Structure 1
Amino acid sequence: MNKTVNDNLCDTRNNLVKEITLLSDAQFNSRPDMNKWSIAQVCHHLVLVEEASIKAIAWGLKVIDSTQKERKNVDLILLDRTKKIKAPKIVEPDIKPFEVQQIINLLNDSRKKLMTFLSTIEDKSILAEKSVKHPALGELPLDQWIEQIYLHEQRHIEQIKEIKSLLDVRQ
């Protein structure tokens, strides 16, 4: 995995944690309205997406006849928040309340699993040669599955900032 991707994973996660660290558990679990997720739910969704991405990449590596599909402008798709993307059921967050530290621990665990998993791939070039269907982005090369983790997180950091302003959270 190249340094840029690694740096982006790290920087984005640090930004996410910085956005949530000082929130009270009440702010963290407060929903701006019943049709919107709380910040806690957004973060739980990010944990679930990271774990699902690991499974998808692992599955994609095992598929023998998987060939590279065209690369997509994942950043343009994911960072455009004017286009709503419905989360598949498998990555919908729990409705139960979370503590901030509990979510930070889950985020740390899912990132550790991702980095450990990626470190087991001896020939990283294979990631650009195989692809798996992504629920929102269609057929996606495996290396772009890794990219979409931090791009998706960046999208949701913007959502968290929006929720904080709707809740009038000052930090």
Structure 2
Amino acid sequence: MNSLINDHLCETRNNLVEEIKLLSETQFNAKPDTKSWSIAQVCHHLTLTEESFVRVISWGLKQEESKQTERKNVHLIADRTKKVPAPEIVEPAEDFFSVQQIIGLLDDSRKKLTTMLDTIEDPSILAKKAFKHPVFGELPLDQWVEVIYIHEQRHIEQIKEIKALIKVEN
């Protein structure tokens, strides 16, 4: 895997854990309003998304033919002014989560990602195959990996907004 992408994945995940690790269970599960997600739900969404991306990338790699496609500006996903509804498969549960439970789920989803990526003998194949993304359409598999940390950065900003709305002192 590209070391720069790997660094971004690690740095972003560390930033996420820093944002949540000191929250009380009440703060973690508080919703700013009835239509919004709690911080716990945002994090649960991130684990579900990462696990679904692992499945998609694995499926994309198994395709016989190379479906090379144009590269997209995946950094657009970071723009929080553009609301993107989560596909049902990655909508978070309404459950009450503990911070440690979510950190465990985040660790599990990241292990699944790194384990899958480590099995790829020639990582350049990721740029040569594509799979349909719900926002970008046909997207090269290496850009699916990039979207993981960019999407996570987007939601870290959302977590900061929720913390301000529920009045968490930093």
Q: TM-score, normalised by structure 1?
A: 0.98
Q: Displacement, 1:126?
A: 0.4
- In structure 2, the residue matched to 1:128 is 127
Q: Distance in 2 between matches of 1:20 and 1:66?
A: 40
The answer to whether the Cα contact below 8 Å between 1:72 and 1:140 also exists between their aligned partners in 2 is: yes
3-state secondary structure, aligned to 1:121: coil
- In structure 2, the residue matched to 1:104 is 103
3-state secondary structure, aligned to 1:140: strand
- In structure 1, the residue matched to 2:113 is 114
AA aligned to 1:71 is R
Q: Displacement, 1:104?
A: 0.2
Question: What are structure 2's unaligned runs of at least 5 residues?
Answer: none
Question: What are structure 1's unaligned runs of at least 5 residues?
Answer: none
AA aligned to 1:164 is K
3-state secondary structure, aligned to 1:154: helix
- In structure 2, the residue matched to 1:49 is 49
The answer to whether the Cα contact below 8 Å between 1:60 and 1:66 also exists between their aligned partners in 2 is: no
3-state secondary structure, aligned to 1:32: coil
Q: Distance in 2 between matches of 1:23 and 1:68?
A: 44
The answer to whether the Cα contact below 8 Å between 1:133 and 1:139 also exists between their aligned partners in 2 is: yes
Q: Residue deviations 1:62-100, cap 9 Å, x none?
A: 11124111100101x111110000000000000011000
3-state secondary structure, aligned to 1:122: coil
AA aligned to 1:149 is I
Q: Distance in 2 between matches of 1:92 and 1:154?
A: 18
**Alignment RMSD:** 0.6
AA aligned to 2:112 is K
- In structure 2, the residue matched to 1:73 is 73
Q: Residue deviations 1:38-84, cap 9 Å, x none?
A: 00000000000000000000000011124111100101x11111000
- In structure 1, the residue matched to 2:63 is 63
Q: Displacement, 1:138?
A: 1.2
3-state secondary structure, aligned to 2:15: helix
Count the aligned residue pairs: 170
3-state secondary structure, aligned to 1:165: helix
Q: Displacement, 1:135?
A: 1.2
Q: Distance in 2 between matches of 1:44 and 1:136?
A: 20
Q: Distance in 1 between matches of 2:37 and 2:26?
A: 14
Q: TM-score, normalised by structure 2?
A: 0.98
Q: Distance in 1 between matches of 2:99 and 2:42?
A: 12
Q: Residue deviations 1:84-121, cap 9 Å, x none?
A: 00000000000011000000000001101110110000
- Moved >6 Å (runs of 4+): none
3-state secondary structure, aligned to 2:149: helix
